[in-house]
Amino acid sequence: MHNADYLDLDGRSVFVETWQGSRPTVLCVHTAGQSGVQYRDVAAGLAGLGFGVVVADLPGHGRSEPAAGGPVSDLSWYAGWCVRLIAALDLRRPYLLGCSIGGSIALDVATRMPGELSGVVALDPSGVLGSDGRPPPLPVLEDSASPSMRDRTYYGTIEACGRSVPADRAELIAQMHCREDWHITVSDIHGALTHDIRAELADITCPVRLLAGEDDFFVPPSRVRRIADLIPHAVYELMPGIGHYPMEEIPDFAPRFERWVKDFDAASTLDEVAP
C-alpha cells in the first residue's frame, strides 16, 4: 500500500512516501537539488518485490520545507537528518539506497549506525573523499550558471545519462530534473566537494556495494573505486553504458537491487561476528 504524507522532523514538514512490505525497508536518498521523484519507478518496483520502501525529500527539496538554517552545504548534516528520520519512522535494519550525494549520505549514515543497517547500495557517490586542494568558496548567485539554472540542469542531465539510455528516456529524465532551486542545488554541490569521511569509513560494518556508471562524467568511476578501496568489505561494480542516474536509467533496476541484497544476505557480514 502506497502512502504519501508529511512528517514533522526538526520542527519542519518533510514529505515522505512509504510502501509497506514483508522484507526489510529500503530508504532511498536522492541526488543534489532533486527530490524523491527520482525513485518513482524504482519504489513501485521494489514494493512489488516485497520490500518496504521509504522515499523522503531532503529539507528544502521537492515538497519538504527548508532546514531551519536555510540551504544545507554539509552532507554530514543530511546524514544526521537521515538517522533521525530512521528513528522517527522506527525502521528496523533498513537498506540504504542513494545516488550521487545520496550515495555519500548513505555511507555517512552507515558510519553512524553499526549493527543497525542491512546494507548500503551507493550509486556514483559524490563526496566522501573531500576536496582536491583548497576547499571551494561558499556559493553565490553567479554560481547558478548561465543562461539559466534550468538550462544547465536540462543539458547537464542529457549529457550525464549513459549511452545505453534511449533518447526519449534521457529527455524525460532531463525534463523531470528541471524543478530545482539554485540555492539548494549549489549548496548541495558545495557539500559534495567538501564532504570528507575517509577516517570514518572503517566504522562501517554492514555490507556495502558501490556502483559506478561507466559514462558518468560527474563522478568518475576511478573516484568510486577509491572509495571502495577504503571500505575493506565493500564490493565495487562498473555499470557499462550507464551514467550518473542508474535508478532512472536502468529499466530493471528493482530486480538488480534484489540480486545485490541477496549477495548481502549470503555473505557473512561483520555485524554477525562482531563481539
Domains of the chain: 2-269 (3.40.50.1820)
SS3 per residue for the chain: CEEEEEEEECCEEEEEEEECCCEEEEEEECCCCCCHHHHHHHHHHHHHCCEEEEEECCCCCCCCCCCCCCCCCCHHHHHHHHHHHHHHCCCCCCEEEEECHHHHHHHHHHHHCCCCCCEEEEECCCCCECCCCCCCCCCCHHHHCCCCHHHHHHHHHHHHCCCCCCHHHHHHHHHHHCCCCHHHHHHHHHHHHHCECHHHHHHCCCCEEEEEECCCCCCCHHHHHHHHHCCCCEEEEEECCCCCCHHHHCCCHHHHHHHHHHHHHHCCCHHHHCC
What is the reported pTM? Answer: 0.91
Task: Kindly state the average pLDDT of the residues 78-101.
Answer: 98
Least confident of 50-54, 128-132, 235-239: 128-132
**Looking at residue 194, what is its pLDDT?**
93
**Confidence grade of residue 1 (pLDDT, cut at 50, 70, 90):** confident
State pLDDT tens for residues 48-57.
Answer: 999 999 999 9
Least confident of 93-97, 133-137, 149-153, 235-239: 133-137
